[in-house]
Structure 1
Amino acid sequence: MSVVSYFRLVRAGWVLAREGAFAVLPIESLPPSMRAGIALARLVERPSVRRTGRVDRLNAALNKLGPTYVKFGQTLATRPDIVGPEAAEDLSGLQDRMPPFDPALVPGMLDEALGTKAAQLVDISPPIAAASIAQVHRARLRLPGQPPRTVAVKLLRPGVKARFRSDVDSFYAGARLAETFVRSFRRLRPTDIVRTLDHSSRLELDLRLEAAAISEMAENIRNDTGFVIPQVHWDQVAETVLTTSWVDGIPIRDHAALDAAGIDRKALAAKVLQSFLRHAIRDGFFHADMHPGNLFADRVTGDVIAVDFGIMGRINKRERRFLADILYGFITRDYALVAQRHFDIGYVPPDQSVDDFMLAIRSIGEPLHGRTAADISMARVLGQLFTITDLFQMQTRPELVLLQKSMVLVEGVARSLDPELDIWTVAEPVVGDWLRREEGPVGRFEDLSGHLKRFSDAAGRVPTLLVQAELLMAEHRALMRRPQDATLRHAILAVLVVAIVVLVIGGIKLVSL
């Protein structure tokens, strides 16, 4: 790790502290060690922040620091219940109202990326939306023998890959410092978390992969209602360019426009939350950047329209079952189930008490039941979660970081649309239906089909394993016919026996899976 990475980290800390970033955190809900660190950082705040309490330049500071800091600010913007309404409003500009790059660069960028196909994109507008990674233009797509189509053209910002790399390197530096000097942070596995975010950012910076993500999600939701995504125009896709159908809707954060169009915000909030849960639990593939700048409402149907699929989350069947069981446990107040699943997946070390952890979970869940979103202090809930994770030495699961971050985003968006949202009531149809299906005949049949397929694949590998064993025996016999030292022969024989045993056991295990 270069010295420059540490310098960037120190500079970022200084800028954030100076502009009052730590002032928006719910310090009363944090552990004592974190409170002390934040109090120290706040000593360098600008006098105007300390005097008025207003944090009005954090947007500009995060933009100045780099795209990964902007991503963090986008998440905070969805949580006025945590950072305060004024800070959330300031940060909302990070979602799609950032300064665009020079529009004069666009024709050359298209020509370089698409070659002759670039000529089919005409009437390119000034930037419609600009975020940390890319900006979007409206254009007309003219294909031979077809009427012109209105499309959205997304272009990566020049130099954004280098900025991302610098940001991530500084995060690695910070994670390693934390693991080295703060022992309590080790259980949080900060380096593994950064590695997960690093992988996600690398995928986000190749728009061909975003096009593929849109295609996969389109297949998953083809029979769904209430959630709409654009279509990809593959001939106008490259690493730095993504062209999709144009979707027209009301920005989901524009509550006045939603009300004027007669859109039921309560129903819209339910669609946002239920769609996310359906994608995560049913499909294991979900939009992991559902901030308000990426969500719109259809003026006619009131459906959710989602854009920007650069960050996608994927979880396997075991993790999907974990999520469903946790949510269903809270919905039904089955705190024993919630506690046990945390042990099963490795969040809580096995040397902790399941019964004690169940009591801790109950202390969180009971106050939430029967309450609307407006009645719940998420700052207080987060503070309680901090305490519990420390008390039970809970381990971070890096592969679930995107899921957790997305749930914070989605819950914040739904809460802003409907302050009276009852999360458990809205979630139950999706979670309950999926669990009932999994436990029913259809789910059992699908599990059996999966086992049979794995058995068939494993059985197909057995002949290869037997051939490899025969070759090893033939080599052994050839060596044994040569005059060699007896000790060497015995060593060779032992190695061959071990190799054959490993091959056979491996074959047996494959067949039994």
Structure 2
Amino acid sequence: MGLGSTFRLIHAGWVLAREGAFSILPAESLPPMMKLGISMARLIERPSVRRTGSVERLNAALHKLGPSFVKFGQTLATRPDIVGAQAAADLSGLQDRMPPFDPALVPTILSDALGAKAAQLTEISAPIAAASIAQVHRAILRKPGDAPKRVAVKLLRPGVSERFHADTQALYAGARLAEAFAPASRRLQPTQVVQTLDHSMRLELDLRLEAAAISEMAENIKDDEGFRIPEVQWDQVAQNVLTTTWVDGIPIRDHAAIDAAGIDRKALAAKLLQGFLRHAIRDGFFHADMHPGNLFADPRSGDVIAVDFGIMGRIGKFERRFLADILYGFITRNYRLVAQRHFDIGYVPAHQSVDDFTLAIRSIGEPLHGRKATEISMAKVLGQLFTITDLFQMRTRPELVLLQKSMVLVEGVARNLDPELDIWTIAEPVVGDWLRREEGPLGRIEDFSGHLTRMGEALGRVPNLIAQAELALAEHRAMVDRPRDGLMRSGMLAVLGAAFVFLIVMTWKMLLS
């Protein structure tokens, strides 16, 4: 851990405390040690923040600190139910209204990245949206033989990779300090969490990978309704340039314009939430940066339009089943199922009591049922979750961090659209249909097919294992006395035979499970 990273971390903490970042956290709902830390941080807060409660200067501070801190601010901006309406409004400018970089650099960036094909992009506008990583321009794509096409051109900010690297080094420094001086934090695996975020952000810094993500998601949702994304223009794609078709839409945070267009905000919230759950549970591949700056409403169809696919989440079949069972357990008030799945995936250590954890889950779930979103204090719910995670020594699953962060974002946006949001009623069609399919004949056939594939792969490795064993046997035989050759060969063949039988038995059990 370098001195530079530690100094940057200390500097970031000072700036955040000074500009009131800790004043917007729900301290009353947090554990005692976290309350104490927030109280100490607020001692250096600006008098104007203490007097007015406004944190409008925090936008500029987060931007100066770097893109990772901006991402954190974007998440808080979607949760007025946690940080308060004023703070959320102050932070909303982080979503797509950051200062753009010098427009004089744009022609050179395009020319260096696209070569001669840069000339096909004409009538390039001033930046229409600027965020922490990149900014977007409107342009006309003129390809020989094709009609002119309106497109969106996304350009990475010059020097953003270096700023991001400095950010992550500071976050790593903070994670290591936490693990060294706060042993209780180790169960949360802060270093592994930072590694997960580091990996996702590195992917975001290569726009070719974002283009591939758009292409994959387009295949996944081609038969879906209610959720649209732009199309990639591959000839105008490079590491720092992404060109897609232009999509016309109303910013999803502009409730007045959505109402004026006659769009049903309740239906829009349902489409957003169900679309996200469908992508996560059915496809295991989801948009992991769905803040309001990346979401629009189609004025003609009332569908959700999503842009900016730099951060994507991917989870396996086991994690998808975990998410579906957790949601379905809350929907049906089957808290035993919710508790058991937390043990199955390793969130809760095996030595804890399933019955006691079921009771804790019930204490969270029961007050949420039958209530409107406006009647639920998410700050109190989060405080209760903090208490339960500590009580049951729950561990973090780093590979699920993006999913959890994305669910917070999506639910926050949906709540803003529909203050009477009932997440359980909206989620049931998606979750229930997927679970019924998985438990039905088609799901069983797919599981059996997967077992056969894995069995074939395992059996395909057997000849190689035998060859390796025979080679090891030959090498060993050259090193021992001749009289012991027969005994050694018999022993090795016996071990090899036992290993082969074990492989067959385990494969058979897997097929029957």
Into which bin does the TM-score normalised by the smaller protein fall?
over 0.9
Q: Is 2:295 the counterpart of 1:295? A: yes
**CA displacement at 1:229 relative to structure 2:** 0.5
Tell me, yes or no, if the aligned pair for 1:276 and 1:286 is still in contact at 8 Å. Answer: yes
1:176 and 1:39 mapped to 2: Cα distance?
A: 23
Distance verdict in 2 for CA 1:35–1:490, change over 3 Å: farther
Partner secondary structure for residue 273 of structure 1 = helix
Matched residue, 1:190 = 190
RMSD: 2.1
User: Do the aligned partners of 1:130 and 1:136 also contact (CA within 8 Å) in 2?
Assistant: yes
| Alpha-carbon separation, structure 2, partners of 1:149 and 1:491 | 78
Per the alignment, residue 465 of structure 2 pairs with 465
Match of 1:169 in 2: 169
Give the SS at the match of 2:278. helix
Q: State the Cα distance separating 1:227 from its structure 2 match.
A: 0.3
Contact kept, 8 Å, 1:227 with 1:271, in 2: the verdict is yes
Aligned residue for 2:92?
92
The equivalent of 1:104 in structure 2 is: 104
> Structure 1 residue 492: deviation in Å?
9.4
- Distance in 2, Cα, partners of 1:137 & 1:395: 43
Offset, 1:469: 2.8
- Could you tell me which residue of structure 1 aligns to residue 125 of structure 2? 125
C-alpha spacing 1:200/1:506, structure 2 compared with 1 (3 Å): farther
Please list the CA deviations of residues 316-352 of structure 1 after superposition, one character each: whole Å capped at 9, or x if unmatched.
1011000000000000000111111111111111111
Query: What is aligned with 1:231?
Result: 231
Question: Which residue number corresponds to residue 178 of structure 1?
Answer: 178
Q: How many residues align?
A: 509
CA deviation digits over 1:151-183, x for unaligned, max 9?
A: 111000000000000000000000000011011
Deviations 1:217-275 (A, max 9, x none): 01111110000001111111111111111111000000000000000000000000000
Corresponding residue of 1:282:
282
Q: 1:492 to 1:48 in 2, by over 3 A?
A: farther
TM-score, structure 2 as length reference: 0.95
Summarize deviations over 1:435-456 as a string: whole Å, max 9, x none: 1111111111111111111112
Determine if contact 1:476/1:496 at 8 Å carries over to the other structure: no
Question: Are residues 1:44 and 2:47 paired?
Answer: no
Shift of 1:497: 7.4
Distance across 2 between alignment mates of 1:212 and 1:315: 17
Structure 2 distance, partners of 1:81, 1:169, is 31
| Runs of 4+ more than 6 Å apart | 489-499
- What does the per-residue CA deviation read over 1:74-97, in whole Å, with 9 as the maximum and x for residues that have no partner? 000000111111111111100000
State the alpha-carbon separation in 2 of the partners of residues 493 and 48 from structure 1: 83
Change (3 A) 1:503 1:2: farther
Displacement after TM superposition at 1:460 (Å): 2.1
Match of 1:66 in 2: 66
Gaps of 5+ in 1: none
Q: 1:104 to 1:180 in 2, by over 3 A?
A: same
- Relative to structure 1, is the Cα distance of residues 298 and 180 closer, same or farther in structure 2, using a 3 angstrom cutoff? same
Report the alpha carbon displacement of residue 495 of structure 1 after superposing the two structures with TM: 11
TM-score (norm 1): 0.95
**One-letter amino acid of the counterpart of residue 215, structure 1:** S
Give the stretch that moved more between structures: 464-473 or 149-158.
Answer: 464-473
2:376 matches 1:376? yes
In 2, Cα distance between the equivalents of 1:184 and 1:501? 47
Amino acid corresponding to residue 13 of structure 1 in structure 2: G
Partner of 2:28: 28
Give the aligned partner of residue 272 of structure 2.
272
- SS of corresponding position for 1:302: coil
Secondary structure (helix, strand or coil) at the match of 1:184 reads helix
3-state SS of 1:147 partner:
coil
Structure 1 191/505 Cα, relative in aligned 2: closer, same or farther at 3 Å? farther
- Note closer, same or farther for the CA distance 1:139–1:501 as it changes in structure 2 (3 Å cut): farther
Distance 1:502 1:244, change over 3 A: farther
Mapped partners of 2:101, 2:487: distance in 1: 68
For the residues of structure 2 that align with 1:304 and 1:19, how far apart are their CA atoms?
35
The answer (yes or no) to whether the contact 1:135–1:156 under 8 Å persists in 2 is yes
Distance 1:15 1:420, change over 3 A: same
Q: Which amino acid aligns with 1:14?
A: W
Name the residue aligned to 2:15: 15
Within 5 A, what are the aligned runs for 1:293-332? 293-332=293-332
Do 2:54 and 2:90's aligned partners in 1 also have CA atoms closer than 8 Å?
no
Q: Distance in 2 between matches of 1:348 and 1:142?
A: 57
2:248 match: 248
Secondary structure, in 3 states, of the residue corresponding to 2:129?
Answer: strand
Quote how far apart the aligned CAs of 1:461 are.
Answer: 2.2
- Give the partner amino acid of 2:250: I
Q: Residue 271 of structure 1 contacts residue 304 of structure 1 at CA under 8 Å; is this kept in 2?
A: yes
* Distance in 1, Cα, partners of 2:495 & 2:257: 70
Structure 2, gaps ≥5 residues long: none
Aligned-residue sequence identity (percent) comes to: 75
Asked if 2 retains the 8 angstrom alpha-carbon contact of 1:472 and 1:496, the reply is no
SS of the residue corresponding to residue 129 of structure 1 reads strand
Question: Could you give the per-residue CA deviations for residues 431-481 of structure 1, whole angstroms, max 9, x where no partner exists?
Answer: 011011111111111111111111122222222222333333344445558
Give the Cα–Cα distance (whole angstroms) in 1 for the partners of residues 100 and 364 of structure 2: 44
Supply the distance in 1 between the matched residues of 2:459 and 2:189 (Cα, whole angstroms).
Answer: 39
Change (3 A) 1:301 1:47: same
Answer whether contact 2:473 2:489 (CA < 8 A) is retained: no
